[in-house]
């Protein structure tokens, strides 16, 4: 990579791979969760993730590129961490751990989409900027929902001795 345009395209490929990997991983995460609200949030985010993949394909098209992914080591690591939690934790500890893992994924996505959005703006990719903004807004909302669930229900249940 030598230019901002190169970095933009590389990072776009990276997040495209990440979203596809996440879409494959979320059903296992949902199945592993014990808390019904957490399952609902994960299932809802799976639908959003599939939408993000389609939106990213539109971003690629808007810049005249074919949609393709390049392995995202960060997402690969975050998903491996979630798999490890599913294997090691149970009951309430699993739910709080899954929320933490999901928020780590959201924070990564928020960072990537925020960067991509601003690069698109600088590069004059107005359509890509708007599309990336829509994904960024959904990722921020997903993170807020996870925080609310943790604060209002799941974390408190653990404090009260629930398993």
Query: In the chain, where are the structural domains located?
Result: 4-155
Residues 6+ apart with CB under 8 A from 130: none
Q: Is the pTM of this model over 0.75?
A: yes
So what's the pLDDT on residue 92? Answer: 83
Six-digit token string for 143: 């993170």
Rounded CA-CA distance 35/37 in Å is: 6
What parts of the chain have a pLDDT lower than 50?
A: 162-163
- The helix or strand, by DSSP H or E, that contains position 154, with its residue range, turns out to be none
So what's the pLDDT on residue 157? Answer: 57
So what's the pLDDT on residue 152? Answer: 79
So what's the pLDDT on residue 161? Answer: 52
* pLDDT tens, residue by residue, 31-55: 999 989 999 999 999 999 999 999 9
Residues 6+ apart with CB under 8 A from 6: none
Six-digit token string for 40: 């609902």
CATH of 4-155 given 3.40.50.720, 3.40.50.360, 1.20.1260.10, 3.30.499.10: 1.20.1260.10
């Amino acid at each position: 990579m030598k230019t901002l345009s190169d970095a933009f395209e590389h990072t776009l490929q990276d997040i495209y791979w990440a979203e596809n990997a996440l879409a494959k991983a979320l059903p296992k995460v949902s199945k592993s969760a014990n808390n019904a609200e957490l399952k609902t949030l994960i299932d809802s985010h799976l639908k959003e993730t599939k939408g993000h993949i389609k939106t990213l394909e539109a971003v690629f098209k808007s810049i005249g590129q074919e949609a393709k992914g390049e392995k995202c080591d960060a997402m690969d690591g975050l998903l491996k961490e979630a798999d490890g939690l599913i294997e090691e934790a149970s009951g309430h500890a699993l739910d709080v751990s899954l929320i933490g893992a999901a928020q780590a994924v959201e924070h990564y996505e928020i960072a990537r989409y925020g960067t991509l959005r601003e690069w698109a703006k600088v590069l004059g990719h107005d359509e890509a900027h708007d599309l990336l903004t829509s994904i960024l807004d959904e990722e921020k909302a997903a993170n807020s929902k996870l925080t609310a669930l943790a604060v209002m229900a799941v974390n408190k249940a653990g404090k009260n001795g629930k398993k």
